[in-house]
Amino acid sequence: MKNVLVTGGCGFIGSNFVKLLVNNNEVFPVVLDKLTYAGNLNNLDHIDKNEYIFSEGDICDKALIDSLFKKYKFIAVFHFAAESHVDRSIDGPEEFITSNIVGTYNLLEVSRRYIREIKQDFKFVHVSTDEVYGDLEDGAFFKETTPYNPSSPYSASKASSDHLVRAWGKTFGLPILITNCSNNYGPFQFPEKLIPLMIINCLNNKPLPVYGDGKNVRDWLYVMDHCIAIYKVYKNGKIQDTYNIGGNNEIKNIDIVNIICETLDELKPLKNKTYKNLITYVKDRPGHDLRYAIDSTKIKEKLGWTPLESFESGIRKTINWYIDNETWWREIQEKKYAQNRLGESV
Ligand code: NAD
Ligand code: DAU
């Protein structure tokens, strides 16, 4: 089986993607991950250790990437590795510039030299976000042609990396593909993000911090549907093209929190009260985008992708996963992140 490089394969989406690759059994994943606070080897525990190779390292380490390319002769790179949390990019943007921009540049450079020397099929799949398009007015949708207008240091760093990837495609002929996806949720998401944070705070009987008035809208997609879409783009996407991916699930933050509370009221009832009593409105996130919504027509029509999970089934699966995997998140709480507020000050 031919090898592929999965950067950030110990993170939330990357680890779900490694699972998909192992199930598909068409290419062999070599995971490169720096194991930052968000990277977790436990995320790969449920996968047979013979089915992937793990290499601990930084995408900013060009010599390491070079040696991995020489050793494993990759036919593709799936580039997930990034600093991914908007609030942390407000507290400290530097890591975002380094990993998301310089790290992507390193991967592009090594890939470009490699395909010049070794003439074989190769694809560079860059995993990006809908946040590059910025705030969206009511009734509009992000299309692949929507101009970039990022608001946070995180989204600006991802926008920069997208521009680099496109430039390496146009100028150097690197066979690139770009995906821009909406908000993911599901198993193994680090509990700094809205959905796992709210579920775990409920389970810990702690306040549920809703930013601003809670009316900001995100378009939610179950993580495995995102992974399936990325794999379809890899297999059948047009080289140098971009594909938007979204679940068509536009939901206000406060409605998400209410759904989580209602589901837990049913699954883990409290005596004579509802989890909704824990909802607390807090100071808004600086630069908080009001609305995101993806138009997925292109990937649906060109590649025949459609999400398998509805929001109702996906959120229930996710809540059950966090209930069943308390050891996973308790260890994170003890060693890495106690779910305190991030990104408040400017
Ligand atoms: P995550 O924070 O859970 O995981 C990121 C992983 O990258 C971690 O394992 C971390 O250790 C690794 N990493 C970070 N910097 C690194 C470096 N310099 N070298 C090597 N490894 C490094 O993130 P996620 O939510 O899984 O997101 C993965 C990718 O998908 C990101 O590029 C993100 O921008 C993109 N994305 C995320 C979402 C979402 O809703 N989570 C939506 C669309 C796109
Ligand atoms: O749109 C795709 C992006 O989605 C990805 O590129 C990012 O990597 C991912 O983190 C996510 O970004 P968001 O900022 O939308 O996700 P987050 O879970 O941080 O916040 C979702 C919404 O919930 C947002 O409007 C802020 C709000 N929020 C978040 C937290 C953590 C709260 O109201 N309270 C909270 O405690």
Check pLDDT > 90 for residue 345. Answer: no
Active site residue 131: yes
Contact 211, 282 (CB under 8 A): yes
pLDDT for 53 equals: 98
Cross-strand partners of 281: 210
Check pLDDT > 90 for residue 29. Answer: yes
Residue with tokens 């600006």: 156
Write out the H or E segment, with its range, that includes residue 17: helix 12-24
CA–CA distance, 345 with 247 (Å, rounded to integer): 32
Query: For the chain, which domains are there?
Result: 2-189+219-250+290-310 (3.40.50.720)
What tokens does 77 get? Answer: 């790179």
Average pLDDT across the chain, whole number: 97
Please identify which of the residues 52, 105, 114, 154 carries the catalytic annotation: 154
Residue with tokens 């908080």: 288
Please identify which of the residues 33, 58, 83, 131 carries the catalytic annotation: 131
pLDDT per residue over 185-233, tens digit each?
999 999 999 999 999 999 999 999 999 999 999 999 999 999 999 999 9
CA–CA distance, 76 with 4 (Å, rounded to integer): 5
pLDDT band at 118 (very low <50, low <70, confident <90, very high): confident
CA of 10 to the centre of ligand 1 (A): 9
pLDDT band at 116 (very low <50, low <70, confident <90, very high): confident
Check pLDDT > 80 for residue 119. Answer: no
pLDDT per residue over 47-91, tens digit each?
999 999 999 999 999 999 999 999 999 999 999 999 999 999 999
Active site residue 312: no
Pocket test for ligand 1, best of 5, 12, 58 (most atoms within 8 A of CB): 12
- Lining ligand 2 with CB less than 6 A are 84-86, 129-131, 182-183, 193-194, 197, 209-211, 216, 218, 253, 285, 292
